[in-house]
Structure 1
Amino acid sequence: MLQFELLKTEGLARRGRLTLNHGVVQTPIFMPVGTYGTVKGVTPRSLEEMQAQIILGNTFHLWMRPGLDVIRQFGGLHRFERWDRPILTDSGGFQVWSLGEMRKISEEGVRFASPVNGDKLFLTPEISMQIQTVLDSDIVMQFDECTPYEVKGHLTTDAEARASMELSLRWAQRCRAEFARLENRNALFGIVQGGMFEHLREESLAALVDMDFPGYAIGGVSVGEPKEEMLRIMAHTPHRLPAHKPRYLMGVGTPEDLVAGVAAGVDMFDCVMPTRNARNGHLFTRFGDLKLRNARHRADERPLDETCSCYACRGTTAPDGSVAGGFSRAYLHHLERCGEMLGPMLCTIHNLHYYLNLMREIRESLEAGRFEAFRVQFAKDRARGV
């Protein structure tokens, strides 16, 4: 089941509400990435406290480990990982792309050696739909070929991007047919491909719209292209998708990318950046990025962000309303230098809270009709520096 309501617009930016089998998602939204059935460094309870509405799982990796027999035993991914809110699963296409020379793509599907134990495996559009049906994810992604920015040292040509895009379209038809055969009651999204070529993006988009998917994603960005190329495709494609269906930009990105994406008409985002960067001491704040490993933080008593209400910055609120203060930059710097696991955990809580709060502020600005004013203030704050 999927129902999308467009509640308000400002320019191309959209405020919406997405109803799925496991709950309601307010858009625009950022979706934390939980590749192996867990968002690294945080508990499900922490995700709920920071008001995460929907998280990701990964078809490819969950197929490898723990395997479908285990997840089937639990009736799907929700009960297995103890998360009762919506889940979106990637189809495995990006992971296949990342295998590089280790995989062989044909019309039928992709043959590759398991990165876990070396077993010879074969992933097809049909198998991807079967796996995701066992996972019981609320949003299922079609199996596609992620068009690379470069092929063996040269930029992908128009002809190469076209061949890849047309293969993804044929796979989209097969995904749609298998999804229907399986009587999957969740929602299947098509993925717009076409590389860095606008005319191919438009052809892919038109063909997918003819297939009438419940929602659409924009894939093939954040695959090594320069930032300006990604921004060009992000500005070109979203508003050409049907207005009455959700739009998802895959694998993007920085806080600035999210704000620009919303301005271009995107409803949904995901990226490993807030969690991956947190594990490397790279923090996002209202006033710019903070590199925790820098020696200047060694004795700094301030929190990461004085305007942030996350557990790392503010601590906890007692029943009487009193606040037990958060953690200083000095303490987090110390944890980082010592390799203590608490450091990445607290940093991950902060980064995810920052991203989710940013999206909440965007939604509120759209509701108030002041998104453009929000964009201006956002840029000023981020440029101010920590």
Structure 2
Amino acid sequence: MDMGRLAIACAAQHHLPPESTMRPDLSQETKDLLRRAVHVVRAASPADVAPSTAREYRRVADRIFARRRPDGSFPPLEQLTDSRAYYAQLRSAWSRHAHGELVEAISALRPPVPDADVRERLSRVRLWLAQAEAYPISRASDPLTERPGDRAPSRLTQRLASEGSRAAESRSKRRFLASLPHDWLDVLWGAAVAADHRHLDAIAVLICTGARPVEVGAGVLVERDGAGGLAFSIPGAKVGEIEGQPWRRLRVAAGQGAAAHLSRLTAGGPVLVTGPAPATLSTAIADLAGWRWSRRVSAYDIRHQRAADARNAFPGDVAACARWLGHAADTTLRYYGRLPRRAGCAGPVPLGAEAPRPVRRHLTAKRPELVAELG
């Protein structure tokens, strides 16, 4: 089933057969089955995905479908991979596919249905209801969390436990950030240097600025600022008529690690550093980090870390933090993590951030001092 149709079918509840249309000669057990199936579909709330993501989900679902057993059942997804990242993709794709198939299976029971076809169509409902209940959409984005009452821990979870590792308690980057050691960016940079990574310069820019991977891919101009620090001119992404910053100029202390590397690189003058495709850069970060921490890290984990560093470097200056991230409003800061100020700065110390657009302030009744200040 096309992924777009699932969202439409779940949103338009009247597309599903109401209880009043159930055949009167169905057994109570079958009626309960159908009520449960309708409830599962209506409880699903799939978010819209890009067409390219929908196509990739379809390809993944087809690969799972090809593993169907002779008795018609499917193997647990945990048995198909030991990779956390691929398991998350399997679950996201399969949960959407299962709910889509369940929608079609329920719809196929609308009267009139020939008596000879009812048993076969009910079997299809049972099959996809089992899959939809095993992999609900509401938990597809949090696939590795074990909750009380869940089925037995997966082989992947058991293996991690035996190795002394553990599954992340949450996929939230903010919570994950708080679990990382203070020097994790230095550890990551050390791994990149030891590997003599081919994207070493792009990784250094990412660690220094927390820029979006797509911004690094477009090219970041790096130069010395004349005061012993580094300046980064970054083209904006996610820029609209009033949203986002078309460009921003960030300054950091040269210091050690990634910043020192870029300081040496720019000894002869400004250098334009470009990176690979965002997915390639994020994969490189994950591979360098390996399984040192509770889950693999990504390029956006670095962005969240640098957002926290900016908060600590510019205490109370919300506009400076927003400019650092390339935002034109302070409201989006709430999506980024914080770290205790006593933790200091985990990466190259932010010194300043400039951008062409003023940062819009979010006024609420809970911030009367801000209203008075701007009034």
Fold shared, TM-score > 0.5 on shorter chain: no
Answer 1 or 2: which has greater helix percent: 2
More strand by share: 1
Q: Which of structures 1 and 2 has the larger relative contact order (alpha carbons within 8 angstroms, sep 6+)?
A: 1
Task: Please report the TM-score for the alignment, with normalisation by the length of structure 1.
Answer: 0.27
**Superposition TM-score, scaled by structure 2 size:** 0.27
Q: Which has the larger radius of gyration?
A: 2
